[in-house]
A and B are shown apart, each in its own frame.
Chain A
Amino acid sequence: MKEKIAFRDAQKECIDGQALRKYQLERLKETVGHALRTPFYQHRLNKVGIRSSDDIRSLKDLERIPFTTKDDLRESYPRGLLATDMKKVVRVHTSSGTTGIPTVIYHTQEDLDNWTELVVRSIVACGVTSDDVFQNMMTYGMFTGGLGLHYGAERLGALVIPSGSGNTKRQLQLMKDFRTTVVHATPSYMFHFSSKIGELGFTVEELNLKKAFLGAEPYSENTRKKIEEFFKIDVYNSYGLSEMNGPGVAFECIYKTGMHLWEDAYILEMIDPETKKNLGDDTQGELVLTTLCRQATPLLRYRTRDLTTVVKGNCPCGRTHRRISRIAGRTDDMLIISGVNVFPSQIEQVIMKIPEVGNNYQIYLAKEGALDKLTVKVELYSKLFSGDLQDLERLKRKIQDELRASIVITPMVELHEPGSLPEFELKAKRVVDERIKI
């Protein structure tokens, strides 16, 4: 490992199990106390016999608490599950879902400070220091990814370039002129860069990039490798969601073997999304989180809808906070195609392994009579075009066969010219579902 292991606060990050559980219980009691100030949680908690924080005697009592869902948050819009005096609130973040009704999360100054501290801890774990130049190419504003990392990098003392998303040429100019070492962007934006860099008159060699934090959309291990190889950088995976502040919930360290979930700030549970039963480590399930250091919007047993697995064993970095694996999919991203569960990430993984096609793809679903028809649209990679129709037909069959091997369903495969599928700079819209919703 070429990088040194660094900590923001080694004591907190390498806390032993017993001390962590003791601390979690303390914080949980306080969080339940806060939550009881909201009519929503008062009602919910009273129903299960929790009337004050004293009713939480052990961490086991957490299981008595009903889950909080995204719908609960939506239904409480715009007042939200506010547990503090509005006067103490200094910021609000809303996130719009596909249904149009947003969720709202309020923050006090202390909440923001805690959040920022978690971000600092996270990026330090990836080797970022105050010497780094951090170019933040994420959308600012209501999207928590931009602001979250901005404040973290700033508090660490890095030089922050708040470039926001878009304007590829200017981004490259900034990277070159300010010797940017760390970028924060979506994977699709990095792919966009890789395809445009030459055309815009830049080379990877003249830049000074060392690391990238990629997030805001799911991506595969192959995507990471491709971006790492192209830019000759280290790409670190991270996990966050606006309901849990945003970035800084879980982050990889330099060993890149799963993301340490900061257990002194969140209680981690894994459940079976169907039966809602708690699962042990090493079994894929839905991640459920309870905030431990939030005053304005405490959330108890929040169902993230993200599917992941707790990584077994200890991380060589020495951190004791458990790691979660790359998000395998979202319970609400899951497509049911002719009765088979399919995650778009499975399709992405197959496509990324086929060199003759590019990185952009689209999943298109339609009805053909009573049957679901899945079409996967990919773009041909120009450098590997042989000029032969037969080769293209072979390629099409190869993609089809590999997809069938992975998702059981045989899709239609369409080959397109590069750049003809929609490419989005922030979040790529990968799935178009034209089936009639019931």
Chain B
Amino acid sequence: MKITQISVFLENKKGRLFEATKALGDAGVDIKALTIAENEDFGVLRMVVDKPQDALAAFKKNGFVASLTDIVAVEVDDTPGGLARILAVFNKNDLNVEYMYAFVEKTADKAIVVFRFDDPDKAIVILTKNNVKIVGKKEIQTL
């Protein structure tokens, strides 16, 4: 139930973010969630998209450095304390989160948050055991 994240290296140059998103648009790839991690001279754009392989091909074609990573998407109650309840599960079970970000889209009253764990398989087992709903590839595509 892992989903694929695509990361792109961006040097700090004007218009580079635009070009990256345009490359995806031109390839008919839909961005479902994104976040940027950056320092003063470069950044990494991370995204969940509907067609990760197409996105990778589009980036390569346009000269971007990109790679795919496994992440886990989780449904979170879009109510006060919703996220905290999930994080409590992580804490209790010693799940180490490297980073997280939220989806733009929602399903009814649920938000979707993606997590990068150092061990995604172990995380999935624990989350399932704790009745946390994990969002799969198919559901992502139809969002």
Contact = CB atoms under 8 A, between A and B. Distances in A.
Contacts of B5: 387
A387 B7 contact: yes
Interface in B32-73: 37-39, 41-44, 46, 60, 63-69
A387 B99 CA distance: 12
A390 to B, nearest CB: 8
B67 A387 contact: yes
Contact of B44 (A389, A419, A420): A389
Given A380-B9, A387-B7, A416-B11, A392 B42 contact: yes
A418 B60 CA distance: 11
Instruction: Report whether over half of chain B's contact residues are helix, strand or loop; otherwise say mixed.
Output: strand
A388 B44 CA distance: 7
Interface residues of A, number: 16
Contacts of A414: 11, 41
Contacts of B98: 388
A415 B42 contact: yes
Given A388-B98, A389-B44, 15 more contacts: A385-B65, A386-B67, A387-B5, A387-B6, A387-B7, A387-B46, A387-B69, A388-B44, A389-B39, A392-B9, A415-B42, A417-B64, A418-B63, A418-B65, A420-B11
A418 B65 CA distance: 7
Contacts of A380: 9, 65
Interface string B61-90: 001111111000000000000000000000
Output the residue of B11, B13, B38, B98 with the most chain A CB within 10 A: B11
Contacts of A418: 63, 65
A204 B10 CA distance: 31
Contacts of B46: 387
Contacts of B9: 380, 385, 392, 415, 417
A417 B38 CA distance: 15
B48 to A, nearest CB: 13
Contact of A387 (B38, B44, B60): B44
Interface in A316-337: none
Contact of B66 (A385, A415, A420): A385
B21 to A, nearest CB: 15
Contacts of B60: 382
Nearest to B64: A417
Contacts of A419: 63
